[in-house]
Amino acid sequence: MDEMRAQYEAFPYPERDPEDERRRLITGSPSWPQEMDHWLWGGARDWAQPLRVLVAGGGTGDGLIQIAQTMAQAGRPAEITYVDLSSAARAVAEARAEVRALTGIRFETGSLLDAGVFGPFDYVDCCGVLHHLPDPQAGFDALAGALAPGGGIGLMVYAPLGRAGVYPLQAAFSALLGGMTPEARLAAAKAVFDRVPGGHPFRRNPHLVDHEASDAGFYDLLLHSSDRAFSIGELLDALKSAGLELAGVPEPAVYDPARLLPADVGLPAGLSEGDAMALAENLRGTIKLHIAYAVPAGARIAPPMGKPQAIPHLKGADPRRLAQAVQQKGAITVTVGGTKETLKLPRAAAGLIALIDGRTDLAAIRTRAGMDPIAFASLWGPVERALCGFGQMHYSAFLKGV
């Protein structure tokens, strides 16, 4: 842990300039409130109630700033605790929050293994941390123990197949460059890296880019002292051992092996959800991280797919522009894990998509469109499967009444 702390004191990760908060908000999964509601609370959380949040291993603050800013902008109450081992990373996160004038955040320097001391929490964000712990299972257990009744976790861990080439280089640099300061180690590693042959698996992997973004990115990717990847099966096992279960993944279609099979090849009978996800991971071969939502075992709530009271939200898309694209082309293209996917949508559904505003439920959308339930379902079903399947739409009461 001392070596890891020294790394993040020297190179806070990810590298961020607090002044950039004046011009952009970094967003992503997990920890977008509408996405959280969709997977953790059946799209029906009462957002007038304060949300108690732990950002565990918050680094320079991407997850913290996203959730704090989104909650503040919607006028939703939140009590947020940030915890990280690195005082340098914490300083960056605090500066970013100050630039945005965000309040209600408690900053702590410490370990996520002590999460229960700060809790309980309705939601725990832990993005890119568990795979760096000497004992990752202790981290899963600690986060599970910090949850309040009805609470859930949003997490990200590295996956092995999409990181092809990373671990041989990590092992080589560890053998060559031990005992150096982080700064000297980085300089030496860059010099060695320049001589790595073009045929090395790392050089041939187009999905690895962090080493090009910044010194902090290079160090975190190739020089980290503690780094392991989880297959989806290993992630599910770790959740189970912590008394948790998978609530969902932001892009479930990515883990659907049927999408990758020709029409004359079917899935084995009786395939479990976990085995199906593992099959999809092996077939794709490019998944470099797993993002997931988890809840205590037995507390899983299915998203309210197609229910009249469900309120749809588009993530990062303008409804009218999306509707126009569907009307003109009958399809949209999304990029998932560096791979482009074409989603076919009925042109006649364009009018329904244009009515998505994050405040109007499906019953009202159907009424405004002047459609009977059967006709509506025939158009909305493909929209829901495509957009929810690739994380482009979620159901949430986040903006209800706002």
DSSP 8-state code for residue 268: P
Cα(20)–Cα(14) distance, rounded to whole angstroms?
Answer: 13
Q: How would DSSP label each residue in 32-81?
A: -HHHHHHHHSTT---TTSPEEEEEET-TTSHHHHHHHHHHHHTT--EEEE
Residue 402 is predicted with a pLDDT of: 79
Q: Which residues contact 117 (CB under 8 A, 6 or more apart)?
A: none
Cα(72)–Cα(68) distance, rounded to whole angstroms?
Answer: 6
Nearest to 63 by CA among 49, 82, 39, 91: 82
Residue 316 is predicted with a pLDDT of: 84
Q: How would DSSP label each residue in 78-111?
A: EEEEEEES-HHHHHHHHHHHHHTT--SEEEEES-
Backbone CA torsion sign across 154, 295, 50, 400:
positive
- Full 3-state SS string of 127-165: ECCHHHCCCHHHHHHHHHHCEEEEEEEEEEEECCHHHCC
User: How far, in whole angstroms, is CA 144 from its chain's centroid?
Assistant: 18
Residue 1 is predicted with a pLDDT of: 66
Sites in the chain below the pLDDT cut of 50: none
3-state secondary structure of 293: strand
Query: Model's pTM, two decimal places?
Result: 0.96
Find out whether 147 and 153 touch, Cβ atoms under 8 Å.
yes
User: How far, in whole angstroms, is CA 199 from its chain's centroid?
Assistant: 31
Domains and CATH numbers, the chain: 2-158+230-296 (3.40.50.150), 162-222 (no CATH), 312-395 (no CATH)
